[in-house]
Structure 1
Amino acid sequence: MIYQPPVPLPDEHAASIMYRHFQMTRFAKFETMMMSEYNSKLDSPRRLWQPVFSMLAESFSSKYSLARFIEKYTNITDYSLFLDESVFKDSSVENMLNKLSIFKFHNALNASQDVSWRYCPVCAREDDEKFGTTYFHVAHQCFYKRVCRKHNVLLEKSDPYHFSLPPVFTESVTASQSDLKTEAVLSSWVDALKEIPQEERKVRALNLIHQKICIFSYDRKNPYHVQRVQYVQNRLAKRFNRSHFMPYFSWGPLASGLYPLNSVVGLMGFLDPAKHFHPMIYLMLIDLFLKQDELDLSMQYSLASPKAMERVPPVVSPIEIEDLINDNAA
């Protein structure tokens, strides 16, 4: 039980509250205390739940329900954009949180955006002046955000090896118009996806992408399948390399047929609904292949069931093979 935790500051993340509590009560190394007493490691916001958060939630239970605590002080709702209850089937809330504490997305290490905790240098200075301390904001840990919308500056990354509160004197970098536009586009996609029942989001989105690329199954022995997948991979690579997504991933420019678009974990792997890739990968694929009105159009059709292989009636026109050939030759 955590006794007398510090009063949470506006939009403060649970990890930050824990660190401030540690500062007031302990003298050991923070990482040592977290591992020895709570078996927790606050290495990045993509570690969705920490056992120590349960104790913190219990301390606030007179004011917040567990669901409200999760929504207010963590980023689980951001990262669960494409997850549904089937991932944690037949789980109590306690068991679900235990599973979340060890849950890992496929290809998460390639989503460099959330490899460490992020902060706005201007917010840090303002927080220090107003509250006497800096802290990590929940809004700044959202995996698809690179900009502090309050100050229009790029978010900075903290030391990934040693958890500590944001420094005060980091110079801020003004976000470009491209950065702001990217933020608006991704936020718009997320808002549109949240209008869809959670258990249907990935099913509908991946079905529409399959319709767009006109590949519903992949047989390596089928020359047509092989050629079309190669053409589509090439189109994806070219679109990605000209897009605003480069800063979000660590794999650099994409090249068709090479990792991560090779035959083992390539495009068809990304579109496998049974797997749970990092949500940034899904947002990237959706933005590069689909339009929001196509997603809206799919909502005219109800799904017989929310199963991963449920087909959505055709609502988008496939990419013509001539277009793929011309794109490949360009």
Structure 2
Amino acid sequence: MGLLFFNTPYPDELFYSICARFHKRSGNIHEKATIEDLFSSRSITASAFLPSGINALIANLPPFAVYTAEQFIVNHTLYPFYTAFLSPKQAEQVYKSMLSNDGKDIYVRSGINASDIPQVKFFRFCKQCFESDMEKYGEPYFHRFHQVSGIECCLEHYTPLYNSSVLTSGGGKHRFEFPTTENCVASENTNVLNSIPEAVTEKYIVHLKELVSPIRTLLNKRFVNKELQWFGEKYTNALISKGLAYYSQRVKQDDWREFFLEKYDPSVLGIFHSSITGKGDWLSMIVQKHRKSFHPIRHLLVMSALEMSVEELFNEEITSPFVSPPWACLNPVCDFYKQDVINSMDLTLSDNTKNPIGTFTCPHCKYTYTRRGPDKSEADRNRKTRVKSYGPVWEEKLKEQSQLDTSLRELSRKMGADPNTIKRYLTTNKKEKIVVNEAKLSVDQKTWLGLIGENPNKSVKQLRMGNKALYMRLYRANREWLGMNSPILNQPSNKERIDWSKRDNEILDEVVNVINELLNEDQKPIRITLSKLGSMIGKKALLEKKLYKLPKTKLYLEKQLESVSDFQIRRIEYVLNKMKTQGEVLPDWRILRMAGLPYEEKWVDVLKHFRRNR
């Protein structure tokens, strides 16, 4: 038998709260009777966040009711929030379980049970919202926004939430309790931030305000679910743009950790249940290839740090360092010049800078060029860094043009190559005989070409010294012809070769001295990073770009460079040494504060370790 009535859901009201208000109005003494009225079954569990039996409820609604299963799930449960970062298959399985009467696997499929972020133990409420609901609707109700793990303040008023005495689980699987002035008491003991120092609470609220918009977006809109690896790739691309990852997709984990901790104070991360514990923690894993899902709160923290909106994360395609294909042929003598005919590209990385290098080959003329990325605008589509191969079409066209009465400069313009390249392709570097129109040559030109033929190994200067008058006549009459028809010999480079072994030893000495200076126990700790050392010895670019040529220095630095965690431990050691020198005895929390660290079990254990070994 269907329901005779059903109460209208309030804005952002939790599905559990809707059912609890129905129970109050139904006159049923026992919750099991209400469960049967709503779902035509007594096996349904009164689940707080991801309920099941939605289809059964829809079937029982009065004829005039206009609610759909999707409206209940999307607008009145935490499904949109907890499944946003699941794969399409996982999200669909959770949705189907919520529609069905069998919801025992919902919390496992959604990853909530496996997460180290605890679920909310008691239904929570905001004092101002409670009073506002009483005034507006004549009764309070439980809001979805107040039940998200890690969100300890009201997203409307930015004031701490309070725990009611109503358990979210464990109080009876058929229990429906609605909020009242008796079970929702705002006091110091029920304040969820009661144990948090005021200064930390203020920092937390600042960060929470940055998360309000994405939290509301996730709860109020449905996005197409992506495969788990999508998020890792999106985050890595954002890190690349900030210089925190290589184009090979390898993240500079120490730099990323430092960047993240500059944004979030460790004490604030504790409130979000997302403390950083060291290498291999959630912060490291979330920007790698995803093999498991991560709690939405942690995604939101990363998105905020990278200044990425929910829409950018879900809707914008994963970008390449180069504008989207197809790409243009840039051979000016090809029939497909500046037409988008190249569909594939070879992507490599610069050995020195690790920047991307794209290699593009026209399928019609085999003209091959490279472009150093990343592209900054659509205009870069017609930019090239260098030409790797001009291809047979270009070379054949050059031979044709060389037989015409065309100046070197004009030939260079037509062929899209500099004059030296034109000369190289037409003369001895290509080991090809220059094809010329003998009928058009003057006596001096024929004499000059004969002189070159008789002395193939002589340079222009040597030929000129052998017949100065001939050279000067040609120079005055047709300088461009002379330049194009003069030999180009490979000249030895005058550039002084660098003795990298000697430089390695010199740099190593400088680095050792600077590190000893930084490790001076009397000096306030400064983290030992490659950037810092390079700045101190005045060779930052050398260390960052040519370290691979300095093997001794590189090996020494691998042992001496500090991770964020190493530096934090050294700060504790500095404070302990200072206390010993001054004869002070300070409590653990004071030591950690002086070291700029939160009072957490991890750091208390480090202090104990130091004391045992002193």
TM-score interval, normalised by the smaller of the two chains: 0.5 to 0.7
Contact 2:154 2:160 in 1 (8 A): yes
What's the CA shift for 1:325? 3.6
The question of 1:77 aligning with 2:105 is answered no
Secondary structure class of the residue paired with 2:110: coil
Question: Matched residues in 2 for 1:19 and 1:195: separation?
Answer: 25
1:237-276 alignment to 2 at 5 Å?
241-242=265-266, 244-249=268-273, 253-257=275-279, 261=280, 267-268=284-285, 271-276=288-293
Q: Report the residue type matching 2:125 in the other structure.
A: Y
Judged with a 3 Å threshold, the aligned counterparts in structure 2 of structure 1 residues 229 and 182 are, in CA distance, closer, same or farther, namely: closer
TM-score, normalised with respect to structure 2: 0.39
Asked if 1:181 is matched to 2:183, the reply is: no
Corresponding residue number in structure 2 for 1:146: 152
**1:192/1:205 Cα in 2 relative to 1: closer, same or farther (>3 Å)?**
farther
Query: Pairwise mapping of residues 66-215 of structure 1 onto structure 2 (< 5 A)?
Result: 66-88=69-91, 94=96, 97-98=99-100, 101-102=106-107, 103-105=109-111, 109-112=115-118, 114-143=120-149, 145-158=151-164, 159-160=166-167, 161-162=170-171, 164-168=177-181, 170-171=185-186, 177-189=202-214, 198-200=224-226, 203-210=229-236, 212=239, 214=245
The structural deviation recorded for 1:179 is 4.4
1:235 Cα deviation (Å)?
Answer: 7.2
CA contact (8 A) 2:276 2:283 kept: no
Q: Is the 8 A contact 1:235 1:327 kept in 2?
A: no
1:162-211: CA deviations, max 9, x gaps?
Answer: 36333426227699654443232113445788999633485443114345
Contact 1:119/1:155 (<8 A) preserved: yes
Q: CA 1:200 to 1:187, structure 2 compared with 1: closer, same or farther past 3 Å? A: farther
Larger Rg: 2
How far did residue 275 of structure 1 move? 1.7
Aligned partner of residue 71 in structure 1, secondary structure: helix
Cross-structure match for 1:291? 307
Gaps of 5+ in 2: 325-355, 357-372, 375-528, 532-560, 568-614
Deviation (angstroms), 1:215: 8.4
The alpha carbon displacement at 1:63 in A equals 0.6
Once structures 1 and 2 are overlaid, which stretch shifts more, 78-87 or 32-41? 32-41
| Deviation, structure 1 residue 16 | 0.8
| RMSD value, Cα | 4.9
Instruction: Give yes or no for contact 1:108–1:278 (8 Å, CA) kept in 2.
Output: no
In 2, are the aligned partners of 1:119 and 1:156 still within 8 Å (CA)? Answer: yes
Indicate if the aligned counterparts of 1:120 and 1:156 stay in contact, CA closer than 8 A.
yes
* Matching residue's letter, 2:304: D
Unmatched tracts of structure 1, length 5 or more: 219-223, 305-312, 316-320
Distance 2:152 2:133 in 1: 19
Aligned pair count reads 297
Aligned partner of residue 143 in structure 2, secondary structure:
coil
Q: CA 1:88/1:127 → structure 2, altered by over 3 Å: closer, same or farther?
A: closer
Partners of 2:74 and 2:276 in 1: how far apart? Answer: 35
C-alpha contact (below 8 Å) 2:23/2:31 kept by paired residues: no
1:65 maps to 68
Q: Retained in 1: the 8 A contact 2:83–2:91?
A: no
User: Aligned equivalents of 2:129 and 2:312: distance in 1?
Assistant: 37
Tell me the equivalent position of 2:530: 322
Separation of aligned partners in 2, 1:106 and 1:215: 33
Note if contact 2:119-2:149 (Cα within 8 Å) is conserved in structure 1.
yes
How far the C-alpha of 1:136 sits from its partner, in A, is: 0.9
Instruction: Check the 8 A contact 1:112/1:248 in 2, yes or no.
Output: no
Q: Who is 1:40 aligned against?
A: 45
Who is 1:309 aligned against?
none
**Deviates further, 150-159 or 237-246:** 237-246
Equivalent position to 2:30, from 6, 28, 31: 28
The amino acid that maps onto 1:3 is L
The one of the two structures with greater contact order (alpha-carbon pairs below 8 A, sep at least 6) is 1
